[in-house]
Amino acid sequence: MKANIEKIVENRGMEDVILEVVVPTEIVVEIKAGKRKDKSKKIFPGYALVKMIMTDESWYVVRNTRGVTGFVGPGSKPIPLTDEEVLNMGLEKRTIEVDFEVGDSITVISGPFETFVGTIEEIHMERQSIKAILSMFGRETPVELEFDQVEKN
């Protein structure tokens, strides 16, 4: 279904109206015979999410694509997801501007390590995370944290 929608969008030159088609997946780790294997698994099997500007033409194209059988939402037209719903599904991440530098002292403000203090070892802009060394129970422990989980001291 995803490929069908993308092909029609390309053929009709509608890239400015139908922006993106996504089949939400997650990486699942399977361990068989002592070997670790990362496997992609569909979060909502049978569903695709379409990021589009709703016009009569874009709506017609999507609903008449081979493989599309229906839509989530009451009534005949789909309802858009809220920004919060999209973020909660992990489909889009908010880009967070930070003024962190390697060596800065930080305090964890949310999550399982809340209130722990540490030092930034690495900054990963593409993942919106840092690797910090936290002092836990008298030991230095490396932990990966998202930008919004920490604040600079």
**Three-state SS annotation for 13-32:** CCCCCEEEEECCEEEEEEEE
Would 122 be classed as within a structural domain?
yes
The number of folded domains in the chain is 2
Would 97 be classed as within a structural domain?
no
Looking at the structure, do residues 78 and 113 belong to the same domain, yes or no?
Answer: no
pLDDT string in tens for the chain (153-residue length): 899 999 999 999 999 999 999 888 877 777 777 787 888 888 888 888 899 998 989 989 998 999 888 888 777 778 888 888 877 777 665 566 778 899 999 999 999 999 999 999 999 887 788 999 998 888 999 999 988 899 999
d(CA 4, CA 50): 12
Residue 128 sits in a domain whose CATH number is 2.30.30.30
Q: pTM for the whole thing?
A: 0.54
Would 67 be classed as within a structural domain?
yes
d(CA 121, CA 142): 9
d(CA 27, CA 39): 6
Residue 9 CB-density burial (10 A; 0-12 exposed, 13-18 middle, 19+ buried): buried
Would 95 be classed as within a structural domain?
no
